[in-house]
């Protein structure tokens, strides 16, 4: 983080795709996804286009920087992701964190994937907000040996300057969050078009977020 706590809007120069060694192993998009919504899917699709890679959603079992507990169980969040990506060959769901100890440290996750898929290297997708915490990550010094970090940023977003960030890619601006989706469900309001229909039906069938 630069001195004074200020973040730079343009932390790195664009990096040619062939310099990102993790592309061949696929990109990992981690988060709570409680629940997954259309903005998550749009970001993943934009990243797949920018990187020329498939993208795996990586639901966290328990995020170390998350103050509030997840409302849906890890498996429910993974099942909603399965429904959301169905029919899209470029998007998938990676459940490796669901079987690892908590909290869900990214370095631990990447090592588990490396053990399972030897020779594969990954691209780790981070939002601009998550990238601001990068310096505080557990064993952050081990990340360069495990993955390339790519930050996705919406128009006007500030992105921290950090030597581990290989590239910044633009994604569309959509004012939507899982918190807003949960609040609408709790208030009895419609979430149609905010989440895929299959996810909306799952939330209703399981009585989530009420």
- For residue 117, the domain's CATH number is 3.40.50.620
pLDDT of residue 169: 95
More confident residue, 34 or 25: 34
- 3 state DSSP class of 116: helix
Q: Is residue 80 part of a domain?
A: yes
pLDDT of residue 46: 97
CA dist 14 and 179 (Å) reads 32
More confident residue, 105 or 206: 206
Number of domains in the chain: 1
pLDDT of residue 24: 55
Q: Is residue 98 part of a domain?
A: yes
pLDDT, mean of residues 157-176: 91
Convert the pLDDT of each residue in 79-88 to its tens digit: 999 999 999 9
Q: Which residue has the tokens 């299959």?
A: 198
pLDDT of residue 67: 56
Q: Is residue 116 part of a domain?
A: yes
Instruction: Give the domain extent around 93.
Output: 21-173
CA dist 203 and 80 (Å) reads 8
pTM, full prediction: 0.85
pLDDT of residue 66: 63
Measured CA to CA in angstroms, residue 143 lies from 27, 55, 93, 110, 164 at distances of 14, 19, 22, 9, 8
Q: Is residue 155 part of a domain?
A: yes
- 3 state DSSP class of 147: strand
């Amino acid at each position: 983080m630069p001195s004074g706590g200020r973040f730079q809007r343009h932390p790195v120069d664009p990096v040619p795709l062939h310099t990102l060694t993790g592309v061949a192993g696929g990109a990992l998009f981690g988060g709570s996804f409680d629940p997954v919504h259309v903005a998550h899917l749009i970001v993943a699709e934009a990243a797949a286009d920018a990187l020329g890679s498939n993208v795996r959603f990586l639901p966290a079992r328990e995020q170390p920087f998350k103050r509030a507990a997840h409302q849906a169980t890890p498996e429910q969040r993974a099942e909603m992701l399965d429904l959301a990506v169905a029919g899209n060959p470029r998007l998938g769901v990676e459940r490796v964190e669901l079987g690892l100890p908590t909290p869900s440290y990214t370095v631990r996750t990447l090592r588990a994937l490396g053990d399972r898929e030897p020779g594969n290297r990954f691209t780790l997708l981070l939002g601009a907000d998550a990238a601001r915490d990068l310096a505080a990550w557990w064993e952050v010094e081990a990340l360069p040996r495990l993955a390339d970090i790519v930050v996705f940023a919406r128009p006007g977003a500030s992105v921290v300057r950090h030597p581990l960030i290989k590239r910044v890619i633009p994604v569309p601006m959509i004012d939507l969050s899982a918190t807003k989706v949960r609040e609408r469900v709790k208030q009895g309001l419609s979430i149609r078009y905010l989440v895929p229909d299959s996810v909306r039906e799952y939330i209703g069938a399981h009585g989530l977020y009420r």
